[in-house]
Amino acid sequence: MFDGRFHALHTDGHRTLSRKYGYWSAFGLVLGVVVMPAYAKTPEQIFRQVAPSIVVVEAYDKDDNPLNQGGGVVTGRGAIATNCHIVHEAGRIAVRYRDRELEATLQFADLERDLCLLKASLLNTPPVTLSKERLRVGQRVYAVGAPEGLELTISEGLISSLREFEGSQYIQTSAAISQGSSGGGLFDSEGRLVGLTAFYLPEGQNLNFALPVAWIVELASRGTGTTTKARAGGAQRWAARVDALKSKKDWMGVLALTQQWVRSSPVEPLAWRELGDAYLRLNRLRRSVPAYLQAVRLSPELGAAWSSLGQAYLRLNQHDRALEASEEALRLMPKNIAVLQTIGAAYYFQDRNDKVKEIHETLRKIDARAADEFAKTYLKR
Tens of pLDDT along 276-291? 999 999 999 999 999 9
Confidence of residue 97 (pLDDT cuts 50, 70, 90): confident
Same domain, 290 and 340: yes
**In terms of Cα–Cα distance, which of 73, 241, 254 is closest to 165?**
241
Same domain, 211 and 259: no
Contact (CB, 8 A) for 379 and 356: yes
Same domain, 317 and 295: yes
Global confidence as pTM: 0.69
Same domain, 372 and 273: yes
Same domain, 77 and 212: yes
The span from the CA of 316 to the CA of 213, in Å, is 41
Confidence of residue 202 (pLDDT cuts 50, 70, 90): low
Same domain, 155 and 136: yes
Cross-strand partners of 70: 57
Range of the domain at 220: 1-225
Of 202, 225, 248, the residue at which a domain comes to its end is: 225
Same domain, 161 and 240: no
Of 225, 245, 262, the residue at which a domain comes to its end is: 225
Same domain, 187 and 283: no
CA angle 174, 156, 210 (to 5 degrees): 50
The stretch 272-277 carries a mean pLDDT of 96
What CATH number is given to the structural domain containing 368?
1.25.40.10
Confidence of residue 112 (pLDDT cuts 50, 70, 90): confident
Confidence of residue 176 (pLDDT cuts 50, 70, 90): confident
**Cβ-Cβ contacts under 8 Å for 214 (sequence gap 6 or more):** 168
Same domain, 217 and 243: no
Same domain, 170 and 298: no
Same domain, 305 and 201: no
Report the chain's mean pLDDT, rounded to a whole number: 83
Same domain, 131 and 250: no
Of 225, 243, 268, the residue at which a domain comes to its end is: 225
The span from the CA of 270 to the CA of 166, in Å, is 20
Domain count along the chain: 2
